[in-house]
Amino acid sequence: MIYGGGGFIGSHLAKNLLDKRYEVKIFEKLNFSLKNIQDFINDSTPLEIIEGDFNNEVDIKKSLKNVDYVFHLVSSTLPATSNLNPLYDVETNLISTLKFLQACIESKVKKIIFMSSGGTVYGIPKEIPIKETHPNHPICSYGIIKKTIEDYLFMYRKIYGLDYFVFRLSNPYGEKQNPSALQGVIPVFLNKIHKGEPIEIWGDGEVIRDYIYVKDATDLLVSSLEIATDEKVFNVGSGKGTSLNDLLDIMKKITGRDVNVKYLEGRAFDIPVNILDISLAQSRFGWTPSTDLEKGLRITYEYITNNY
């Protein structure tokens, strides 16, 4: 079962699981858009779609019937705006997840795979690249909630034996990511270049992030179903850092277009550099990202030009 399976990451994960012959269920909000999954919805596909409210205990309990493995990708907030209403973040993400975990225990779920945030749970890093053992001092509510859920998963395993993995994802990008959303600098920039619109950057453009192609990330998530490890928390990224200015240079190269950039005053919650150490995931799962940034950007730009 993929909670949030109709979204950007969830739809890629669903396709990956189906390709590997898993029976897949998707849980999404009522009347959600089928756009991201329409390319693999057909009568012969072992895919079940369940619509409901993640905050509704009855909906969740019904959805967990005959489910062995669960991917929790649901979030109602974004890092950039979560501090505006931390109480809402707690109510819709933390409390709803605690009720969800209880339902998983009652339904005898074998394993939960939780999507955490490698970009926010560590806060301002003291060393680069960032290992999973790095101190956690998030400076946004989004990261605090993600880390708190991680801690509850640890507790529920100790008390109830509920198995889990936490994957701290860096900055995913690729096809099906909404270029009009508030999250995801790569599709936003590529879409503005495609439309000939100016790009606004908070700060001087030297903020460094770790970008990973979405299909590389879902390969790891799928492989985790069949593997058991003593470690439960893993970074997921490319292991490489790229500044926004360098990112724009690559975009100029692949699009063949000039870019009008407007630099704005920096924001207090923007972490200067975030590069994840992915060696633990590589060693435990035999996984490594196979798509370099330029190739991934070309694929993403082609998708945007064909769909927007």
The domain that holds 81 is classified in CATH as 3.40.50.720
Choose, from 142, 156, 164, 213, the residue flagged as catalytic.
Answer: 142
Instruction: Determine, yes or no, domain membership for 110.
Output: yes
| Residue 135: per-residue pLDDT | 96
| Residue 232: per-residue pLDDT | 98
| Residue 269: per-residue pLDDT | 75
The answer to whether residues 258 and 196 touch, using CB atoms and an 8 Å cutoff, is no
Instruction: Determine, yes or no, domain membership for 179.
Output: no
Work out whether strand 211-213 and strand 24-28 pair parallel, antiparallel, or are unpaired. unpaired
| Residue 268: per-residue pLDDT | 78
Compute the distance between CA of residue 307 and CA of residue 97 in angstroms, rounded to an integer. Answer: 34
Instruction: Determine, yes or no, domain membership for 308.
Output: no
Is 142 designated active site?
A: yes
pLDDT tens per residue, range 42-64: 867 789 999 999 999 999 999 99
Compute the distance between CA of residue 287 and CA of residue 131 in angstroms, rounded to an integer. Answer: 17
| Residue 182: per-residue pLDDT | 76
Compute the distance between CA of residue 79 and CA of residue 65 in angstroms, rounded to an integer. Answer: 32
Instruction: Determine, yes or no, domain membership for 248.
Output: no
Task: Looking at 124-184, list the stretches that DSSP marks H as alpha helix, in order from N- to C-terminal side.
Answer: 141-160
Compute the distance between CA of residue 211 and CA of residue 185 in angstroms, rounded to an integer. Answer: 10
pLDDT tens per residue, range 164-192: 999 999 999 999 999 988 789 999 999 99
| Residue 112: per-residue pLDDT | 98
Strand partners, 202: 264
Compute the distance between CA of residue 166 and CA of residue 154 in angstroms, rounded to an integer. Answer: 10
| Residue 38: per-residue pLDDT | 93
SS3 201: strand
Burial category of 21 from C-beta neighbours within 10 Å (exposed 0-12, middle 13-18, buried 19 and up): exposed
| Residue 177: per-residue pLDDT | 96
Domain of 30? 2-173+213-237+276-289
pLDDT tens per residue, range 194-212: 999 999 999 999 999 999 9
Compute the distance between CA of residue 147 and CA of residue 104 in angstroms, rounded to an integer. Answer: 19
| Residue 45: per-residue pLDDT | 77
Side chain identity, residue 79? P
pLDDT tens per residue, range 223-264: 999 999 999 999 999 999 999 999 999 999 999 998 999 999
Chain mean pLDDT for the chain: 95
Instruction: Determine, yes or no, domain membership for 104.
Output: yes
> Is the per-residue pLDDT at 101 higher than 80?
yes
Q: How many domains does the chain have?
A: 1
